Amino acid sequence: ALVEVEDTFFEHIQKGGIWIYPILFLAVISFLVAIVKLLSMIKLREIAPATITSVVGHLKAGEQAKASGDLEGINHPTAEILQVGIDHADLPRAALEEKLYERHLSLLPGLQRGLPFIAIAAATAPLLGLLGTVTGMIHTFQKITVFGTGDAKPLASGISEALVTTEFGLIVAIPSLIAHALLSRRAAGVRSNMEMSSLAFLNGIRPVESN
């Protein structure tokens, strides 16, 4: 008897009422954004300290073309920062530091792109599920006033709406929260590499003068 009344996946979704659709929209968009962001993060390859040493060595020898050649094929925001340093290697330390920092700031929005939406999906999905729970219970009590509590079948749709929206809200929120945490950690690692590499380059080209 339970097998005969078991719902298909689409029938289960339809029981969630109107609020299930924005939850599913958040799920699809959050999943796509997370996949695109993950693929872009995987492609990044951190610049090894040996590469920075080689770039600094070429610049000190006056071989600017070879220094730029060391960065060819490196897919990482740090490479763009170092290229700015190569192009302005003749500047004083303070001016060179400003150039590197300016490029660093311009790259940060691209590094964070997509992460805010994943965070919004993680926070909004359970709230939409809660809203569906409230509207489902309202529908249930409206039917109780008409049919009473003797027959539970008329109440099933309202109860289903309340539970299904809560279920899908949590199903969307939990993976989104995990994805946001992992991708944010990866982005923080990339940002840290950008800062450390820029500082190593700057100290190599323009060491801090001791008093």
What average pLDDT score do residues 182-199 get? 91
Q: What average pLDDT does this structure show over 110-124?
A: 92
Q: Alpha-carbon distance 211 to 209, whole Å?
A: 7
Concatenating the DSSP letter of every residue in 117-142 gives: HHHHHHHHHHHHHHHHHHHHHHHHHH
- In this prediction, residues 178-202 reach a mean pLDDT of 91
pLDDT at 4: 56
Share of the chain above pLDDT 70, in %: 87
For the beta carbon of residue 143, count every other beta carbon within 10 angstroms.
19
What is the tens place of the pLDDT at every residue in 62-92?
A: 888 888 898 888 888 988 999 999 888 888 8
User: Residues in the chain, how many?
Assistant: 211
| Residue 210 clears pLDDT 80, i.e. is over it | no
Are 124 and 26 within 8 A, CB to CB?
A: yes
**Average pLDDT over every residue of 31-59:** 88
d(CA 122, CA 26): 9
Q: What distances in angstroms separate CA 169 from CA 12, 133, 136, 183, 191, one per listed residue?
A: 14, 10, 14, 21, 32
**Contact between residue 161 and residue 132 where contact means Cβ atoms under 8 Å apart:** yes
Across 197-206, average pLDDT: 87
Query: Over the stretch 5-41, which tens digit does the pLDDT of each residue have?
Result: 566 767 777 777 788 899 999 999 999 999 999 998 8
Instruction: Decide which of 210 and 170 is more confident.
Output: 170
Per-residue pLDDT reduced to its tens digit, 133-156? 888 888 777 776 766 666 556 666
Q: Is the dihedral of CA 7, 131, 177, 75 positive or negative?
A: positive
pLDDT of residue 120: 93
What's the average model confidence in pLDDT over 157-165? 77
